[in-house]
Structure 1
Amino acid sequence: MPSYAEQREALVTHLATLAPAEVLAPFAQEQHARETQGLPPGLPAPGTPIPETPLLDAHGNPTTLAATRSGRAAVLVFYRGAWCPYCNLALRTYQEHLLPQLRTRDVALIAISPQRPDGSLSTRETNELAFPVLSDPGNELARALGIVTEATAESKAAQVKLGIDVAAANADHTAQVPMPTVLVLDRGGVIRWLEVQPNYANRTEPAAVLAAVVALESAEAVQSV
């Protein structure tokens, strides 16, 4: 079972064959800078209830996290959008290597991005995802968690050269996106674990998420005794 990191390296090699090095260079520079800067300040601590903000399902219908979770514990995956190859790779990896384990534990897997609902549906169809993909218009939920960011001017110029228009894909027509983030919520909607990736090429490995879910189960079992 290849890890996400191993698949990412293969993806980087593939991307290098699709565009000139001078076009891709700003992305590598931005990734390095974000990794050096580290985590954003003010991230919610474990034990903090997840904010409930308006969301849209893949068909554009209003929904909430509470409605989508239906009283279950949940793993939330914030991703930048269908235009991001690292996001698509991560979602496929979670589908293949994490979702089956979560299903046996009755834990929901929910992906969230700021893109328009029709874009969310496209992501779901393209990757044949078997879990909910929600739209966070205006990054309202991501902003409440303190994980909103925006590409550098150099990266935006490179995106244009590659035909990527983040603002057009987003529901609020801005270029702001969430840092790739995974949260584990208990059945009450309280954050029990989270991991943020400042470098958007990196993603939380399925094994790390599963370990956090198992730890939550153990804690809940002790509390019920």
Structure 2
Amino acid sequence: MTATAYATTDAVVQPLNARLAELHAERVRTWDPAVLQINIDQRAELVAAASADDRWPMVGDAIADAELIDVESGAFRLQARTACAPTVLLFFRFAGCPACNIALPYYNETLWPALRARGVALIAVSPQRPDRLIEIKQRHGLDFAIASDPENGLGRRLGITFTANAATQAQRTPNGPWIGETTGTGTWELPQPAVILLDRLNIVRFFDVSPDWLVRTEAETIITAIDSLSL
């Protein structure tokens, strides 16, 4: 991934990872150091575990159909959507996640217009309950679909989910709602941010996962990958 700013027709756009770096810098300035270290350690642990991870799909793999729930229109079959157009799935954590509230508006600004112009659909996916997940779409006026992945079914099948470590659970539980309560899933399981491009046959044409949720795939990377393919 690159942190180089790039130009649109209207302005120079700040890269996503520069925006996420600013979020981390703000936490360094304002968070209790012990709490911040738990967050840093959890992300580092996920990166280390991913270094030998062979569960993720490979380009050319077929993905079995799944049922997702659009926060506005209800349940749908993934295969029915991909049959109509190649589709990018953006996996994110939940509606209240600070990093996701930076990433999704960025993708709305930079990625979605380029995909739409190329006839590619975009669906952002989280395990959070639809009635809670809709909040992030409404807050930012997102133009692409937002969908719930019930019980992390698709995310788990793709090998991108994780469960918070003991230190994270111990730190967060006494300080307000825990993740399972926030998402409505009743578990600590969340997806790692990931981007997957499926063609009309549900074949993986591009895949990128970010075990550290403060490092995510730039729009330019996704667009370049799509332009290199025949879809």
TM-score (normalizing by structure 2): 0.87
What's the counterpart of residue 14 of structure 2?
2
Q: For 1:114 and 1:28, locate their aligned partners in 2 and report how far apart those are by CA, in whole Å.
A: 23
Residue 90 of structure 2 is aligned to residue 56 of structure 1: no
Q: Verify: 1:42 aligned to 2:66, yes or no.
A: no
Instruction: Name stretches of at least 5 consecutive residues in structure 1 with no aligned partner.
Output: 221-225
Aligned residues of 1:184 and 1:212 also touching (Cα < 8 A): no
Q: CA–CA distance in 1 between the matches of 2:186 and 2:26? A: 30
SS in 2 for 1:208: helix
In the TM superposition, residue 173 of structure 1 has moved relative to its aligned partner by: 1.5
Contact 2:85/2:199 (8 A) holds in 1? yes
Equivalent in 131, 143, 148 of residue 118 of structure 1: 131
Identity among equivalent pairs (%): 32
Name the CA distance, whole Å, in 1 between partners of 2:174 and 2:141: 28
Query: Residue in 2 aligned with 1:32?
Result: 44
Tell me if 1:101 matches 2:107.
no
**Mapped partners of 1:51, 1:159: distance in 2:** 35
Name the Cα RMSD after superposition.
Answer: 1.8
Structure 2 CA distance for aligned equivalents of residues 56 and 187 of structure 1: 20
8 A contact 2:108–2:143 mirrored in 1:
yes
Q: Name the CA distance, whole Å, in 1 between partners of 2:157 and 2:190.
A: 13
Q: Is the 8 A contact 2:82 2:199 kept in 1?
A: no
Query: Which of the residues 9, 21, 25 maps onto 1:13?
Result: 25
Of 139, 155, 159 in structure 1, the residue corresponding to residue 152 of structure 2 is 139
CA distance in 2, matches of 1:38, 1:186: 26
Which region of structure 1 is more displaced relative to structure 2, 168-177 or 93-102? 168-177
- TM-score normalised per structure 1: 0.89
Q: Secondary structure at the match of 1:98?
A: helix
Runs of 4 or more consecutive aligned structure 1 residues displaced over 4 Å after TM superposition: none
8 Å CA contact 2:85, 2:200 repeated in 1: yes
Q: 2:99 aligns with which of 86, 102, 127?
A: 86
Cα distance 1:162–1:15, how it changes in 2: closer, same or farther (>3 A)?
A: farther
1:148 equivalent in alignment to 2:164: no
1:197–1:204 Cα contact (<8 Å) kept: yes
Q: Alpha-carbon deviation of 1:165?
A: 2.1
Supply the AA of the counterpart residue of 2:57: P
Equivalent in the alignment of 1:223: none
Structure 2 residue 222 is the aligned partner of structure 1 residue 191: no
Pairwise CA distance, 1:28: 0.7
CA–CA distance in structure 2, aligned partners of residues 12 and 215 of structure 1: 33
User: For 2:210 and 2:112, how far apart are their aligned partners in 1?
Assistant: 21
Q: Is the 8 A contact 1:60 1:118 kept in 2?
A: no
Q: Is the 8 A contact 1:74 1:109 kept in 2?
A: yes
| Structure 2 spans left out of the alignment, 5+ residues | 1-12
Contact 1:185–1:192 under 8 Å retained in 2: yes
